[in-house]
């Protein structure tokens, strides 16, 4: 294993804001970690890198062509759209991701959003903190309708690791679960009902988007599909913002076709000033934190180190650009 191979992390802050260690990567070579890399400094910082590690810092074909020393690109993520994988493949450079490190955390966040809407515990706790309970004549009070999940129908679009995790938790809550997916073969029977897309939309009280972002799923939740949903249903998206047409979702919320949109992702992050969903009270939006538990980030850093070590040993793993 090369002792002095140059490893550059381009945007390490979101994965490790200081509560974790980079020692796994430090043991593999000469490590340089940047919290963030602005476009104007990208080539300068990458010039001597033999291994690049990136999360959202975009590596275009032009950038890759300008880095003659580059041997491998490693993602601090599952999604690979921050790197031109084809350009890497042309140079024989493997592009490696980290699958499934955040599954449990993302599943938990879906239900944090759903329970946050159903019970509004934080709102009520704040009300008690400011003394509102003291003025009540009864022993309890409620600021919002209290909604029970048991007996409601959850529709899950996609049935990978996250979709399966969502199904397991929903069933534990006593929900009826419908699943629509491109391929059922080899998928576990957890107690879900297999349905086609039309039935999923028509019968779900809550629709959860758990499919990957691909050309086929981009903008999947559009006006046509929103119109097929049960009036007053909810939707959850903690996967990719581009799975939904944000303007169409905003219109559905304004009309009451959707009762609420529970979102951890948007198509542009941070959102543009004119994003139609951000100001809407019917949209509960968190800043892309579903993946970001300390536990999940710890697994992420460990798996990136394992990916690099495997590459240096001659057996690259988790390669996503066809090499």
The CATH number of domain 103-285 is 3.40.50.720? yes
User: What pLDDT score was predicted for residue 3?
Assistant: 63
Helix axes 103-119, 121-129, angle to 10 degrees: 60
Residue tagged active-site, from 91, 223, 288, 317: 288
User: What pLDDT score was predicted for residue 2?
Assistant: 55
Spatial separation of the C-alpha atoms in residues 297 and 285, rounded to whole Å = 21
Residue whose C-alpha is closest to residue 76's, from 99, 50, 55: 55
Q: Which DSSP letter does residue 133 get?
A: G
User: What pLDDT score was predicted for residue 248?
Assistant: 98
- Residue 198: how many CB atoms within 10 A of its CB? 11
The CATH number of domain 6-101+294-312 is 3.40.50.720? yes
* Residues with pLDDT less than 70, the chain: 1-3
CATH topology identical between 6-101+294-312 and 103-285? yes
Indicate the domain borders of the chain: 6-101+294-312, 103-285
Residue tagged active-site, from 90, 269, 272, 295: 269
Spatial separation of the C-alpha atoms in residues 223 and 275, rounded to whole Å = 17
In the residue annotation, 23 being an active-site residue is answered as no
Residue whose C-alpha is closest to residue 233's, from 119, 241, 225: 225
Tens digits of residue pLDDT in 270-297: 999 999 999 999 999 999 999 999 999 9
Show the beta-strand stretches assigned E in 76-192: 95-96, 153-157, 176-180
In the residue annotation, 240 being an active-site residue is answered as yes
Tens digits of residue pLDDT in 303-317: 999 999 999 999 999
Residue tagged active-site, from 240, 246, 282, 297: 240
User: What pLDDT score was predicted for residue 135?
Assistant: 84
Spatial separation of the C-alpha atoms in residues 210 and 117, rounded to whole Å = 19
User: What pLDDT score was predicted for residue 144?
Assistant: 96
The H or E element that residue 86 is part of is: helix 85-90
């Amino acid at each position: 294993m090369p002792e002095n191979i140059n490893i550059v992390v381009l945007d390490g802050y979101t994965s490790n804001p200081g509560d974790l260690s980079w020692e796994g990567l430090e043991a593999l070579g000469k490590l340089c970690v940047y919290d963030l890399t602005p476009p104007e400094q990208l080539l300068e910082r990458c010039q001597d890198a033999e291994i690049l590690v990136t999360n959202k810092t975009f590596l275009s074909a032009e950038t890759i062509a300008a880095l003659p020393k580059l041997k491998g690109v490693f993602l601090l993520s599952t999604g690979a759209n921050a790197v031109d994988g084809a350009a890497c493949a042309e140079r024989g450079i493997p592009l490696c991701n980290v699958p499934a490190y955040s599954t449990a955390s993302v599943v938990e966040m879906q239900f944090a959003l759903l329970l946050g809407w159903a019970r509004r515990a934080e709102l009520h706790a704040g009300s008690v903190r400011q003394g509102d309970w003291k003025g009540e004549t009864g022993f309890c009070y409620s600021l919002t309708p209290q909604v029970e999940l048991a007996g409601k129908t959850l529709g899950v679009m996609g049935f990978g690791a996250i979709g399966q995790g969502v199904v397991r938790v929903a069933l534990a809550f006593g929900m009826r679960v419908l699943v629509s997916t491109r391929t059922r073969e080899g998928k576990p029977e957890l107690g879900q009902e297999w349905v086609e897309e039309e039935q999923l939309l028509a019968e779900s009280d809550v629709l959860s988007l758990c499919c990957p972002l691909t050309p086929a799923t981009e903008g999947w939740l559009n006006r046509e599909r929103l119109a097929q949903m049960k009036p007053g249903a909810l939707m959850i998206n903690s996967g990719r913002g581009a799975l939904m047409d944000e303007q169409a979702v905003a219109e559905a919320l304004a009309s009451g076709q959707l009762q609420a949109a529970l979102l951890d992702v948007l198509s542009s992050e941070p959102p543009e000033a004119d994003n139609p969903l951000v100001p809407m009270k019917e949209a509960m939006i968190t800043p892309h934190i579903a993946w970001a538990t300390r536990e999940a980030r710890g697994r992420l850093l460990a798996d990136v180190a394992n990916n690099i070590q495997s590459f240096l040993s001659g057996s690259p793993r988790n390669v996503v650009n066809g090499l």
